[in-house]
A and B are shown apart, each in its own frame.
Chain A
Amino acid sequence: MIWLTWRQFRTQALIGAAVTVAVAAVFLATRGSLLALARDMGYTGCTADCDKLAQQFARQAQSQIYGRLLFNGDALLFLLPALIGLFWGAPLVARELETGTHRLVWNQTVSRGRWLAVKLGAIGLATVAVAGLLSWAITAWASPLDKANGWIVPETFTARGVVPIGYAAFAFMAGVTIGMLMRRTVPAMAVTLVVVAAAMALSIVVLRPHLVAQSTYTGALTADKVGGISLSINDPARRIRVEASAPVNNAWVLSNDVVTAAGAPWAGPYDPAKCGPQAPSGPQSCEQWIASQNLKQKVIYLGPEKFWPLQWRELGVFLVVSALLAAFCFWWIRRRVA
């Protein structure tokens, strides 16, 4: 059974291995020069003005080849689960059912359960290996940049650490399950793509913020914290929206609201004499006026220290869902498929 699995999967396996090795090689080969850049710019080992140096380093690196590498690495890890689900997962059972070869192979001296177990085991392992290696290479490579830019923000977090393994395993199992139920390869691939994209989006938007305890910051809204003001002079209700800068560096800000001292949301009304085009000294008078209103800034966020707990928990969720899908596949293939 292992021989047959290898024989049927070897082309995809070789493509997967070649891509993984090539990508890992590119990132590991350029890691040295990225670290050298951080050192040369004084960011590595800095003792003072580290935030400023971090920003300068990040800007400098982005403007060079590293910016493109980072973008491509992130894009690859965002797309990898879908690719695995489409090309490794969906055809696995669907193609056999579509071409009738399940009637050939299940009439050899091998039970359907064992057939599926070896297929899922071998290709599942390949999935974990490819996702793990790629994520490891890119996480290691990007660590100086992530330290400057923050690694808990969704666009970085999703393509770092161990969560790509969870997404890939889930996508593979979702592809297998959908293929088994739909029994046709191409429609199963289309549905798998939609399901994997939806699952990842849902996880990022709905699930992830609740996997670890959120931190809350509440502090007086002083003039220096007012980052942006938007208002409309034609609005009779004289509503005003104030954007305050986040009090924590490199955090994933879930909400950032201006509230009254009692805690209720605040949106004006503004004083036209202080804010807006009639105000005498531009935005400064408005900032001063806002600061005098006894307002508070309330920020709900996940700090960078939550990275690893969040990584393991999200991985756990996706691995549990993958295991449930696998269990369903074993049940279904014994009872309902023929």
Chain B
Amino acid sequence: MTMTSAVVTEGLTKRYGRRTALSDCTLDIPAGHVVGLVGPNGAGKSTLLQMICGLLQPTAGRLTVLGGDPISGSPRIGFVAQDTPVYAGLTVEDHLRLGAHLNPSWDDELAHHRLEGLDFDPRQKAGKLSGGQRAQLALTVAVAKRPDLLLLDEPVAALDPLARREFLQGLMEYVAESGTSVVMSSHLVADLERVCDYLIVLVKSRVRVTGEVEELLASHHLITGARIDPAKLGPGRQVIQARHTDVQSTLVVRSTAPIEDPAFSVDGIDLEDLVLAYMTEAAESGRDRVLEKQR
């Protein structure tokens, strides 16, 4: 399978003095997907995204973005930073003019069309916007630049469920229309589930699992039954997580072949449980921080 890469990293490391934000991270983010980058707080997601858009410089390792070195101020990358910063003293319209003045590739029609659809008052100061509106404004400025790669750092983390849905819907509409590659980080799997078709689980700088969402869902199974010995599952079956009580075992198993054994009940698994299984495993194998199951 050939796949062009939006981002390739090799041994990518970022240290701030003694603190290591990302250590030895090697991953390949394919182009043409909406990629969900999921991991617990402190996994290095923000650091990784900021290195991709050129805001931060790596301490060590290699990083290739859209086939070249990352540079800040690139016309090809759109970035919506964490907490979706906007200029509080500038109006909504000012932000669009800012985008138009600073980006040769600016699509003014797209920008105005998006904001009209959202019922914004263009003369409103950005500091008076609600969190959801602010995020929409930041997204509008990022997409009207017409980037080849759109990076979103926890864009909906601070939003209420309704604003969250509207934001993700707007993002989906844009992606469907433009076909832009997107990388969106979150520690909430439920948000990614709605929009992402590709998933990367990052825990403590390590990629725990990566792949297309459909493939991941098809190849992971939730097996329950009376005391199963994981070793007896057979070849080609990888146990991701195992939980045992006195009478029953629950396993998350990765297997491309279907599991047919009358001794167990085999179910599909939802994305959130799948991600949690990998994170729990990572937490138990190292002493990593555990992701709380948040909804």
* Residues of A in contact with B (beta carbons under 8 Å apart): 1, 3-4, 7-8, 99-101, 103-112, 114, 335, 338
Contact = CB atoms under 8 A, between A and B. Distances in A.
Given A7-B94, A338-B55, A107 B138 contact: no
A4 B100 CA distance: 10
Contacts of B23: none
A168 to B, nearest CB: 25
Interface of B: 50, 53, 55-57, 71-75, 77-79, 81-83, 85-90, 94, 97-99, 101-105, 138, 141-142, 145
Given A3-B97, A109-B102, 20 more contacts: A1-B101, A4-B101, A7-B98, A8-B87, A8-B89, A100-B85, A101-B87, A103-B50, A103-B55, A103-B79, A103-B81, A105-B98, A106-B55, A107-B77, A108-B73, A108-B103, A109-B145, A110-B73, A110-B102, A111-B71
A104 B85 contact: yes
B84 to A, nearest CB: 9
B101 A338 contact: no
A11 B95 CA distance: 17
A112 B57 CA distance: 13
Nearest to A112: B72
A108 B79 CA distance: 9
Contacts of A114: 73
A107 B88 CA distance: 18
B22 to A, nearest CB: 13
A100 B81 contact: yes
A197 B177 CA distance: 58
A107 B73 contact: yes
B81 A104 contact: yes
Given A100-B85, A338-B56, A106 B72 contact: yes
A107 B53 contact: yes
A338 B82 CA distance: 13
Nearest to B75: A109
B13 to A, nearest CB: 16
A107 B83 CA distance: 15
Contacts of A103: 50, 55, 79, 81, 85
Contacts of A4: 98, 101-102
B53, B90, B101 pick with most chain A CB within 10 angstroms: B101
B142 to A, nearest CB: 7
Contacts of B56: 338
A107 B72 contact: yes
B142 A107 contact: yes
Most chain B CB atoms below 10 A, which of A1, A3, A104: A104
Interface centre among B55, B57, B94 (most CB of A within 10 A): B55
Contacts of A112: 72-73
Nearest to A7: B94
Nearest to B87: A101
| Residue among B53, B71, B85 facing the most chain A CB atoms (10 A cut-off) | B85
A109 B103 contact: yes
B86 A101 contact: yes
Nearest to A100: B85
Contact of B78 (A1, A107, A338): A107
A338 B138 CA distance: 18
Given A106-B72, A107-B55, A99 B88 contact: yes
Interface centre among A7, A8, A103, A110 (most CB of B within 10 A): A103
A229 to B, nearest CB: 64
Contacts of A108: 73, 98-99, 102-103, 141, 145
A15 B50 CA distance: 37
7 contacts: A4-B98, A4-B101, A104-B81, A107-B142, A109-B103, A338-B56, A338-B57
CB-based closest 3 A-B pairs: A103-B81, A108-B102, A100-B85
Contacts of B83: 100
A103 B47 CA distance: 13
A111 B72 contact: yes
A335 B57 CA distance: 8
A107 B52 CA distance: 11
Contacts of B85: 99-101, 103-104
Contact of A109 (B50, B53, B74, B82): B74
